[in-house]
Amino acid sequence: MLSERRLQVLRAIVQDYVGTEEPVGSKALTERHNLGVSPATVRNDMAALEDEGFIAQPHTSAGRIPTDKGYRLFVDRLAGVKPMTAPERRAIQNFLDGSVDLDDVVARTVRLLAQLTRQVAVVQYPSLTRSTVRHVELLSLAPARLMLVLITDTGRVEQRLVDCPAPFGEQSLADLRARLNSRVAGRRFTDVPSLVEDLPEAFEADDRGTVSMVLSTLLETLVEENEERLMIGGTANLTRFGHDFPLTIRPVLEALEEQVVLLKLLGEAGDSGMTVRIGHENAYEGLNSTSVVSVGYGSGGEAVAKLGVVGPTRMDYPGTMGAVRAVARYVGQILAES
């Protein structure tokens, strides 16, 4: 439906607008990109593109700027993902290699993404859903008070206090610890409930209450902590957004504070491959003037969590997508190693 040249015109408009942040006119286009045609021809093409809704003019007699639909077409058909250069890749790897624990990995990733893309970075902590139990530990803090510690293969540690209905002996504790681990160690979280179901039956009547309590706390942890946490960074980059500040930046900051919103946002993104949500494609209203580029990452082939960046719709899509993809890849490697 759109001729090849018109697509090139659109591509040129997007590129120029992203670079200059100013509406781009027909003359400037022909000068900066040698399209081999005159401004007049480009004008006709632009009129056609505007009819189709890919570009718009802020006011009569100004240049054109891409619409959300225009960016969408650009991302889908006109732009590739710009790969990172070798030095950049080395820098990423070096930076992430210095991490000492999971928190540190996530913190470094956020920093890195924010720096590379000069936008707001969002990194979700590796999910518990897909991961497996490495170890479950039980410690007795007081005669009727236990602490349950859950360690996952992604290096995450969760702990919970358990108030027992009755005192629980050291013997029973060791017994429960051993049985629990032999059943669930190395297993998937989703499999745990059915694996421990009948565990209370193996214990004396006196202890069953406590055992059930421990088990339900464990299951609760698995479920509750699927409400993932996440870390954000690079909010200072929001100041580069535009000149019409307060109106634009405010809802974005609000959205970033609402972790629920962000988690939903990442959750809605496709599970495999990179997802780009442009402007109004974002369900959350406050982010209607931003684009979100996200991708899953994980230690094996499977994604255990997502990361991405939030920036103005007017962003360098190829570069951003390249950075996001590269970072996701290296974080996956780091997680696999540890």
Partner DNA sequence: GTCTGGCACTCGCGTGCGAAGAGTGCCAGG
Partner DNA sequence: CCTGGCACTCTTCGCACGCGAGTGCCAGAC
Q: Cα separation of 318 and 326, whole Å?
A: 12
Q: Cα separation of 84 and 328, whole Å?
A: 12
Query: If you search the block for the tokens 């007795």, which residue do you land on?
Result: 140
x-or-dash string of contact with a second copy, 118-137, rule CB under 8 A: ----------------xx-x
Tell whether residue 62 is a contact of DNA (CB under 7 A): yes
Instruction: State the binding partner of 239 from a second copy, DNA, none, CB within 5 to 8 A by kind.
Output: a second copy
Closest CA to 66 of 115, 136, 15: 15
Q: Residue 300 CB, nearest distance to a second copy (Å)?
A: 20
Instruction: State the binding partner of 60 from a second copy, DNA, none, CB within 5 to 8 A by kind.
Output: DNA
Dihedral (CA of 68, 315, 296, 122) sign = negative
Q: Cα separation of 144 and 147, whole Å?
A: 10
Instruction: State the binding partner of 40 from DNA, a second copy, none, CB within 5 to 8 A by kind.
Output: DNA
x-or-dash string of contact with DNA, 19-48, rule CB under 7 A: ----xxxxxx-------xxxxxx-xx-xx-
Instruction: State the binding partner of 157 from DNA, a second copy, none, CB within 5 to 8 A by kind.
Output: a second copy
Query: Is residue 148 exposed (0-12), middle (13-18) or buried (19+ Cβ within 10 Å)?
Result: buried
Total residues contacting a second copy (rule CB under 8 A)?
Answer: 27
Q: Residue 263 CB, nearest distance to a second copy (Å)?
A: 15
Torsion of CA 108, 109, 110, 116, to 10 degrees: 110
Q: Which of residues 198-257 bind a second copy (CB under 8 A)?
A: 233-236, 238-239, 245-246, 249-250, 253-254, 256-257
Consecutive H or E run containing 130: none
Whether the CB-CB separation of 104 and 231 falls below 8 Å is answered with: no
Tokens of 29: 């286009």
Tell whether residue 21 is a contact of a second copy (CB under 8 A): no
Whether the CB-CB separation of 124 and 232 falls below 8 Å is answered with: no
Q: State phi, psi for 296 to the nearest 5 degrees.
A: -80, 155
Q: State phi, psi for 254 to the nearest 5 degrees.
A: -65, -45
x-or-dash string of contact with a second copy, 72-111, rule CB under 8 A: -----------------------------x----------
- Measured CA angle at 306 (ends 303, 309), to 5 deg: 145
Tell whether residue 139 is a contact of a second copy (CB under 8 A): yes
Tell whether residue 111 is a contact of DNA (CB under 7 A): no
Instruction: State the binding partner of 233 from a second copy, DNA, none, CB within 5 to 8 A by kind.
Output: a second copy
Q: Cα separation of 147 and 208, whole Å?
A: 17
Q: Residue 11 CB, nearest distance to DNA (Å)?
A: 16
Tokens of 172: 């029973």
Tell whether residue 329 is a contact of DNA (CB under 7 A): no
Stretch that binds DNA, among 54-62, 76-84, 234-242, 262-270 (CB under 7 A): 54-62
Residues that bind a second copy (CB under 8 A): 101, 134-135, 137, 139, 141, 147, 149, 151, 157, 159-161, 233-236, 238-239, 245-246, 249-250, 253-254, 256-257
Residues that bind DNA (CB under 7 A): 5, 23-28, 36-41, 43-44, 46-47, 50, 57, 59-64
